[in-house]
Amino acid sequence: MRLSALSALLLGGLALAGCTSSSGPESLSAGLPSKEVTSSVAKGPVPANDVGAIIAAAESHPEQLAWAGQMSQPQAFESVTTEAMAVPAERPVALMMPDTPEAEPRTRHGRAQIYSRQFRDAHPINFGKASPRKMAVHGVDISRWQGDIDWAKLRTQGANFAYIKATDGGDHLDPMFRKNWKRAKDAGMKRGAYHFFYWCRTAGEQADWFIRNVPRDPDALPPVIDVEYNGESSCRFRLSRAKAIEKMQVFMDKLERHYGKRPVIYTAPDFYRDNLTGEFKNHPFWLRSVAAHPSQIYPGRKWLFWQYSGSGLSHGVEGRIDLNVFHGSEEDWHRWVARN
């Protein structure tokens, strides 16, 4: 091969691998991504769905997820103007996360029934005395990869809440989101939406995209920002700790102004270690820890939700599902839901 042709190929490869951010140049970092990733990066056939003309039209144009590369025919992006709602003053973290993991469960008239955990696990872990089985309020997180769900059946199996995948980056909507969002509520389940954060898109753009697609429902749980390393992404730049925190703050502040609820931060061990240790003390955390209690993996961090398994099995869902637990008693749960 001639030198000029080789040079052109090399330059083309570099151009395809490049990625920009509105925050300015980002430092390239070596290192392997976490092996603990959410179901948002699972692979498999896209299940059939009937979520309406908008999504049906979108699916007629094949595209990649935002974190996996640019779309072949990008959707037109409209700027979203949120209401001028001030970000609430800092609230003591104790009001968002109970101090005690367990208490005598109670049920009061008018409150949603709490179903006991009936889930199984393809790869069960012995957590010893700190087993999540002993905790009162269990739930799941869901994305397109779970296909059509029998929400009423899933609820009676112990899914008292569900976080539903909504968006990636600034241009991808989970094709099952609207169907799951409606059916979970119809089944009487408490549900919230989560966003998979993409480090090579601006934070404001991602917040606008989430707001554009996730309804402002006063009965919904607070929104979630999912922050972790992702080896499936075409974005090969790793932000500094300061830049990552800055982008997260912009995204969360915009969502809090719009929804009036402080976002929950979901993360995995390696991303937390590198970027979040000691940060966001007034935000609730949802921690992935599938081999040990969160106190061992995230020492000193108060947490609201614990994702303790990525291999759960349940009636109402085909295949595996992520299992989670709320940090508190039934009474703590009802109080937290009422406040949020």
Question: How far is it, in rounded angstroms, from Cα 28 to Cα 257?
Answer: 33
Measured torsion, CA atoms of residues 36, 191, 224, 31, in degrees rounded to the nearest 10: 10
Q: How far from the centroid of its chain's Cα atoms is residue 13's Cα?
A: 32
Q: Are 283 and 92 in contact (CB under 8 A)?
A: no
Q: Is 63 a catalytic residue?
A: no
DSSP conformational letter for 130: G
- The radius of gyration computed from the CA coordinates of the chain, to the nearest angstrom, equals 20
DSSP conformational letter for 156: H
Q: Exactly one of 26, 205, 228, 256 is catalytic; name it.
A: 228
| Secondary structure element (H or E) that encloses residue 163, with its range | strand 161-168
Beta-carbon contacts of 123 under 8 Å, excluding residues fewer than 6 positions away, are 309, 311
**Which residues are catalytically annotated?**
228
